[in-house]
Structure 1
Amino acid sequence: MSERVVPPAERRRRRPTKQGVVLSEELIVRTALRLIEEHGADALSVRRLGRALGADPSSLYRYFRHTDDLMLAVADELIGRTLRSWRPTGDWAADLRDLGMRMHAGALAHPRAAVLGAHRVTGRTHEIQAVESILRVLREAGFPDPEAVRIYHAFVDQALAFGALDSAGTSLPRAARDAETEVWRTTYGRLPADTHPHIAATARHLAATMRRSSYPAALELLLEAARTRLDHLRAETGG
């Protein structure tokens, strides 16, 4: 898509497309998300989207100014899907743990879109809701504002980074993934103790652990560090 602006009042199409559906922003985003998972970034073209929707490609400009605008909407949709199933309980660490794992699972459910959107700032409804919700959890837990923002930043970037990392791994052919996993046993597991004593000592643990995502462990380390920081702050203030 190129830069074209259609006034908001004129955006919604009232007549059905060739396939009998009425276009909407939600329908276009859902279709784009499906096509991204099937075809990657190349799916975000006016021609391909128009064909999938049974619509004139130019009609998409009624909803999105260009493909980057659509990509931001897709990234925001992934955030929204995570938030819809998340219910804070009031236990700040448990709530962040639950949200982080849901974010990671959401990325793995849509790996190609997750890789494309992990580094983007959408400024859209769901992202704003996520920022507000996470900061509320942290501030109500007692973190001062600078600490709340610092932990928010680390928490979100960690979840997005691991989501993109693990999603990229799932995109590899199964044979390639299996071969890489086997390297920990066949290569690292056979290194001699006299030249690589630390690898040799931990080889069986490496073979068992490296085949899985380290996100759960990394998330726990982050939450433990945040809890320690909160305890320290309370001790300083007598709270």
Structure 2
Amino acid sequence: MDGPARIPAERRRRRPTRSGTVLSAESITTAALALIEAPGGNALTVRKLGAALGCDPSSVYRYFPDTDAILMAAADRLIHDSLQGLTRSDSWERDLRDFAHRLHRSMLAHPRLAMVRASRVTAGPAEAHAIDTGIGILLRAGYTPLQAVRRYRLFVDTILAQAAADAAAQNPDPQDRDERPDRTWSEYQHGFPTGEYPHLDAVRSELFAMGEPTFPEILDLMIQSFAQQLDRPDGTPEHTATDDA
């Protein structure tokens, strides 16, 4: 995000606001995260930010052009926090698994920004670092540059999509808890008429598994698939025409 970098230094506020906060892109991002994560905090506005920071709302525009840019900064902050402490081991599979779990945990810890993170590119330094890290793991595994890029996109999109779905299922707002999607699986297990859906009838006693977390198995299947591609007889990953496009 290049908004704050374009602001002349003389326009940036150096004195503390009424609440004692020194206004900066970082303090605004911190306040935005607190507002988003507060009960009923789905709608982020500059007016609310101004009130939280103890400043005139127009001061926020000295650092960000609009609330969308603030959302992107907040999402990038969460990516940064999720990757803190990530280290390289002697196993690319272990590192890719750690990378995925960190993103997944972060999305569940901040569910109101999960869909933004799954569907948008922040273009910030933390996301650039995440992409660099993920592609680096796949290059170290033995993929060519193009293959590493393609498989990273496949991998991270799958992880983020599943994490966003898992975060949505948490429904942080108490008034929405009766609409939890996992509630429907027990209804399928006990509620449909015998004989009307023969295949569901055949697995009726196993339908409880539909409500179990799928992320661990999805992650296992993806890493196993990547490893199998690298173990092909010719010693190269699975080759397709699109890899050379």
After TM superposition, the score normalised by the length of structure 1 is 0.87
Instruction: Tell me how far apart the structure 1 counterparts of residues 202 and 5 of structure 2 sit (CA, whole Å).
Output: 62
Q: Are positions 1:107 and 2:142 aligned together?
A: no
Task: Out of 97-106 and 31-40, give the one that drifted further.
Answer: 31-40
- Structure 1 letter corresponding to 2:217: A
Structure 1 equivalent of residue 179 of structure 2? 176
Structure 1 equivalent of residue 242 of structure 2? none
Q: Structure 1 101/63 Cα, relative in aligned 2: closer, same or farther at 3 Å? A: same
Deviations 1:166-187 (A, max 9, x none): 111212633332xx53432343
> Matched residue of 2:99: which SS?
helix
Matches within 5 A, 1:34-45: 34-38=34-38, 39-43=40-44, 45=45
Q: Structure 1 203/46 Cα, relative in aligned 2: closer, same or farther at 3 Å? A: same
Structure 1 equivalent of residue 197 of structure 2? 196
Tell me if structure 1 keeps the 8 A contact 2:162–2:215: yes
**In percent, how many aligned pairs have the same letter?**
40
Q: In the TM superposition, what is the alpha-carbon distance from 1:211 to its structure 2 partner?
A: 2.4
RMSD of aligned residue pairs (Cα, Å): 2.4
Structure 2 equivalent of residue 153 of structure 1? 153
Matches within 5 A, 1:1-239: 7-10=7-10, 12-38=12-38, 39-43=40-44, 45-171=45-171, 173-177=176-180, 180-189=181-190, 191=192, 194-207=195-208, 209-232=209-232, 234-235=234-235
Q: In the TM superposition, what is the alpha-carbon distance from 1:197 to its structure 2 partner?
A: 3.3
Instruction: Tell me how far apart the structure 2 counterparts of residues 12 and 90 of structure 1 sit (CA, whole Å).
Output: 46
Instruction: Tell me how far apart the structure 2 counterparts of residues 119 and 10 of structure 1 sit (CA, whole Å).
Output: 36
Instruction: Tell me how far apart the structure 1 counterparts of residues 87 and 4 of structure 2 sit (CA, whole Å).
Output: 39
Instruction: Tell me how far apart the structure 2 counterparts of residues 81 and 212 of structure 1 sit (CA, whole Å).
Output: 28
Tell me if structure 1 keeps the 8 A contact 2:4–2:63: no
Q: Structure 1 74/61 Cα, relative in aligned 2: closer, same or farther at 3 Å? A: same
Instruction: Tell me how far apart the structure 2 counterparts of residues 46 and 161 of structure 1 sit (CA, whole Å).
Output: 29
Structure 1 gaps, min length 5: none
> Matched residue of 1:210: which SS?
helix
Instruction: Tell me how far apart the structure 2 counterparts of residues 100 and 138 of structure 1 sit (CA, whole Å).
Output: 13
> Matched residue of 1:152: which SS?
helix
Task: Out of 116-125 and 221-230, give the one that drifted further.
Answer: 116-125
- Structure 1 letter corresponding to 2:24: S
Structure 2 gaps, min length 5: 238-245
Tell me if structure 2 keeps the 8 A contact 1:5–1:61: no
Instruction: Tell me how far apart the structure 2 counterparts of residues 4 and 85 of structure 1 sit (CA, whole Å).
Output: 27
Instruction: Tell me how far apart the structure 2 counterparts of residues 124 and 216 of structure 1 sit (CA, whole Å).
Output: 28
Aligned length: 231
Q: In the TM superposition, what is the alpha-carbon distance from 1:223 to its structure 2 partner?
A: 0.9
Task: Out of 159-168 and 9-18, give the one that drifted further.
Answer: 9-18
After TM superposition, the score normalised by the length of structure 2 is 0.85
Write 1 or 2 for the structure with the bigger share of helix.
Answer: 1
